Every structure is written in C-alpha cells, then in structure tokens.
C-alpha cells in the first residue's frame, strides 16, 4: 500500500502523530519506503515535493514541537494564488490537477492533518475521488466531532504558564494585566488557561462582553483589598453590539482586542493596566504528554482506517476511545464553547467574570 502523508496549508502537522503514521504504516500495512510525505504545498506538480518517510526520518521526534513536514497557510488548491507578470495576484482552481497528479503517482491514500480549513479542503478533494482520512490538529480545539484536537493541550499549557508568571508583576505593581491568547471563533484556550491560571476575567468569542461588567469585577476586587487583576482575552472576543478586532481583514487575521480592553480598563477604573499578546508562542514548544499520546493514537487509528478502506472519515477522540466520524459531519458543527458546559459553570462558581 502506498500512502501519502500531507502537509502545507491544506495539510499541516505541528505537534506529533508522524511517528505512528510512518512506523505503523510501514510495520503493518505497507512496505518500507512506501510512506511518503508531501512537502510544503499541495500543488502540482506533486512529484517534485515528495520525500519518502522512512524509519530514520521519523526517529526521535515524539518530544519535539513544530513539524518535519513543513506547513503553509496559503496552499488551497481550490483557490490557488498565483502572481501574474504584472505583479497582480489571481486565484484559480487547481484541484483537478492535484487529483490527476495524485493518481499519476499511484498512491493509495492521503492523510490530511489540520484544522477546519485544512479538513474542508480534504473533504472537497475526497469528493473528487482522492481517498482521504482526516486527523484533527489545531491549537484552537474547534473541530467538531472530537473531544479534543492535538496541539490544544500544549497551547493551553503555554498560556497557563504565562498567566502564572504574570501574577508576580500584577500583584507587586498593583496593576491590571491583560493577556491576549489565540482563538478566533472559539474561546477554548482562553477559558481553560484562564481558569487554570486563576484569571479574574475571561473574555471569549462565544460571550459578547460588556466593559462595565469587566470593570465592576476589577473594582470589586479593589474594594476587597485585591489591588491587581488578570484578564484573559481570546483574540476573537468582541464587545456586546461590536465586532472583533482584525489586523488584516482580507486574510481574517485577528489581533488587538487585548490592547483595546486594556486601554478601556485603565480609562474606566484609573488602574494602571498593561497588555501583552502571547501570539505564536502558543504554537511552539515540546508537546505535553496528553498531546504526544493523542497524536500517536490518532496516527495509529488513521492508518487502521486506511487499511479498512474507510475514506472520508476523520479520527476523533470519543473518550475513552478513538472513533471515526465522517469529515463532513465533523465540519458541519464547528466546536464552540457550549455556554451550558460545566467548565463555564465552574468559571462562574469560582467568581470569574466572563464579561456578561
Ligand atoms: O488556526 C490556528 C491559529 O493559531 C489561530 O488561533 C490564529 O488566529 C491563527 O492560527 C494565526 O495564524 P497565522 O500564523 O497565520 O498568523
């Protein structure tokens, strides 16, 4: 069996899962040298970007962050961007060429690793006849059908560590510290790291916030003799009746809400306030034990699904098992923080303000 493991805009991997894809496939379902990786971009001609993933290529990487595959967020074959001789950019559909190139290489399957954008491309390529199995990988944890995506736990750990460290300055300088974390449409990272890091206010995209309520919380703490506060803001959070803060609307790049919230808090409460953006720090570093194990379990399960011919499926964590769900079903319900979840109730019970 010939497998291709994909990466790049369409297909990327950040934390782990690669060792199992390769070793399992080679060991149980394919001949050595028949697992290939696709470098960088899923664009024709594919043959130029293909490198065999043998045992040596995947040895000793379980504890590493990043990827050995290479990634890009600009590799959508359905909207391929190319620069003309006059310098202008045009988009066109190259998916047929991708399908033809895939067939030309005599491959049996493709493992698509990524978040909602990447998996949507995988779903469309699967519809066009490429046999694909999906693996949910994103720090945002916003892919439906699975209790967790791999990468999320590591990002939460990084954000929690940062919040822990902010407590010193917040407390000793009697300041409000506002930290902006990633999460465009889902507040998982903000909520989990905020609760674990003992934040006083957590603002997430699912709950439009009211700055008066945020400042009430800070003033109440002040009155109780707690002269500092920690505010965690998901980058996609938005004020009630307002919109999220975008630094680059054309490419839906979020950013700046933490700073805006910090300015308003300082103005409204008179408390000295500082803000910082964790940004891409959240996407690096050694994966947590949870993510290593999840990546390896996802990888092994993906190869089993291919051996069983269950294409169009995505591996999913359904504790205690790893299950298979149709990619289309997973994408039909993006996973937002449910407002009736016990995690939200926990935050409220702990007296954390969610800005509403
Ligand atoms: O999809 C993951 C994510 O980390 C988002 O949370 C974040 O908004 C975005 O990627 C940042 O993307 P880029 O690396 O292109 O700035």
Domain segments of the chain as ranges: 2-151+287-332, 154-282
Indicate if the pLDDT at residue 94 is higher than 90: no
Per DSSP, 29 falls in state I
**What is this structure's pTM?**
0.90
Calculate what percentage of the chain has a pLDDT beyond 70.
Answer: 84
In this predicted model, what pLDDT tens digit does every residue of 23-52 receive, in sequence order? 554 445 555 455 666 544 455 455 556 677
Exactly one of 76, 116, 140, 142 is catalytic; which is it? 140
Please enumerate in sequence order all residues whose Cβ is within 8 A of that of 242, keeping only pairs 6 or more positions apart, or say none: 208
User: With contact defined as beta carbons under 8 Å apart, do 209 and 265 qualify?
Assistant: no
Distance of CA 282 from the midpoint of ligand 1 (Å): 10
Beta-bridged to residue 79, according to DSSP, are: none
Per DSSP, 116 falls in state H
For residue 49, the model assigns a pLDDT of: 62
- Nearest residue to 344 (alpha-carbon basis) of 237, 228, 223, 190: 190
Between strands 229-234 and 201-203, the pairing is: parallel
> What mean pLDDT value characterizes the chain?
87
C-alpha 338/C-alpha 187 separation (Å) is 10
CATH code for 154-282? 3.40.50.460
Provide the CB-side half-sphere exposure for 178 (13 A, CA).
24
Please enumerate in sequence order all residues whose Cβ is within 8 A of that of 215, keeping only pairs 6 or more positions apart, or say none: 264, 265, 268, 269
291 φ/ψ angles, rounded to the nearest 5 degrees: -70, -35
In this predicted model, what pLDDT tens digit does every residue of 113-158 receive, in sequence order? 899 988 999 999 999 999 999 999 999 999 999 999 999 999 999 9
Per DSSP, 47 falls in state G
For residue 180, the model assigns a pLDDT of: 98
Q: Can 140 be counted among the known catalytic residues?
A: yes
Distance of CA 103 from the midpoint of ligand 1 (Å): 32
Cβ-defined contacts of 98-103 (< 8 Å, 24+): 98/42, 98/43, 98/44, 98/46, 98/125, 98/130, 99/125, 99/128, 99/129, 99/130, 100/44, 101/44, 101/45, 101/46, 101/47, 102/4, 102/46, 102/130
- In the chain, what's the furthest Cα-to-Cα distance? 71
Nearest protein CA to atom 7 of ligand 1, as residue: 182
Distance of CA 279 from the midpoint of ligand 1 (Å): 8
CB neighbours of residue 88 within 10 Å: 8
Indicate if the pLDDT at residue 306 is higher than 70: yes
Domain 2-151+287-332 has CATH 3.40.50.1950: no
C-alpha 109/C-alpha 303 separation (Å) is 10
Nearest protein CA to atom 14 of ligand 1, as residue: 280
Residue among 118, 120, 140, 150 whose CB has most ligand 1 atoms within 8 A, to mutate = 140
Distance of CA 40 from the midpoint of ligand 1 (Å): 17
User: With contact defined as beta carbons under 8 Å apart, do 261 and 285 qualify?
Assistant: no
For residue 3, the model assigns a pLDDT of: 55
Pocket lining for ligand 1, CB < 6 angstroms: 73, 115, 138-140, 182-184, 235, 253-254, 283
Do domains 2-151+287-332 and 154-282 share one topology? The answer is yes
Indicate if the pLDDT at residue 2 is higher than 60: no
- Whole-number Cα distances in Å, 131 to 6, 121, 125, 249, 306: 13, 13, 8, 34, 8
Tell me the average pLDDT across 224-248.
97
For residue 20, the model assigns a pLDDT of: 52
C-alpha 322/C-alpha 135 separation (Å) is 11
For residue 166, the model assigns a pLDDT of: 97
Ligand 1: which atom is nearest the Cα of residue 282?
4
In this predicted model, what pLDDT tens digit does every residue of 255-281 receive, in sequence order? 999 999 999 999 999 999 999 999 999
């Amino acid at each position: 069996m010939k497998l291709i493991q994909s990466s790049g805009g369409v297909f990327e991997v950040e934390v782990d899962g690669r060792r199992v894809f390769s070793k399992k496939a080679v060991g149980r379902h394919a001949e050595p040298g028949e697992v290939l990786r696709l470098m960088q971009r899923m664009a024709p001609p594919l043959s130029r970007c293909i490198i065999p993933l043998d045992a040596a290529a995947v040895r000793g990487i379980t504890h590493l962050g990043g990827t050995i595959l290479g990634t890009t967020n600009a590799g959508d074959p359905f909207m391929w961007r190319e620069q003309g001789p006059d310098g202008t950019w045009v988009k066109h559909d190259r998916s047929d060429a991708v399908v033809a190139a895939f067939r030309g290489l005599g491959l049996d399957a493709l493992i698509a690793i990524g978040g909602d954008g990447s998996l949507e491309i995988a779903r469309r390529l699967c519809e066009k006849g490429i046999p694909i199995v999906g693996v949910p990988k994103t720090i945002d944890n916003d892919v439906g059908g699975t209790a967790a995506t791999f990468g999320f736990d590591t990002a939460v750990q990084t954000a929690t560590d940062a919040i822990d460290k902010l407590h010193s300055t917040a407390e000793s300088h009697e300041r409000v510290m506002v930290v902006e974390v990633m999460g465009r449409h889902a507040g998982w990272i903000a909520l989990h790291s905020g609760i674990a890091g003992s934040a006083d206010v957590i603002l997430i995209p699912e709950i439009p916030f009211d700055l008066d309520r945020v400042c009430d919380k800070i003033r109440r703490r002040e009155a109780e003799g707690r002269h500092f506060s920690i505010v965690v803001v998901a980058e996609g959070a938005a004020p009630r009746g307002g919109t999220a803060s975008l630094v680059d609307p054309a490419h839906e790049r979020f950013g700046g809400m933490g700073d805006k919230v910090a300015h308003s808090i300082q103005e409204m409460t008179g408390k000295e306030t500082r803000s910082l953006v964790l940004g891409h720090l959240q996407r690096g570093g050694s994966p947590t034990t949870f993510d290593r194990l999840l990546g390896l379990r996802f990888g092994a399960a993906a190869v089993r699904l291919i051996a069983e011919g269950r294409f169009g499926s995505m591996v999913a964590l359904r504790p205690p098992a790893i299950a298979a769900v149709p990619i289309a079903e997973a994408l039909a319900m993006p996973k937002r923080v449910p407002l009736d979840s016990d995690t939200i109730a926990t935050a409220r019970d702990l007296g954390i303000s969610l800005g509403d």
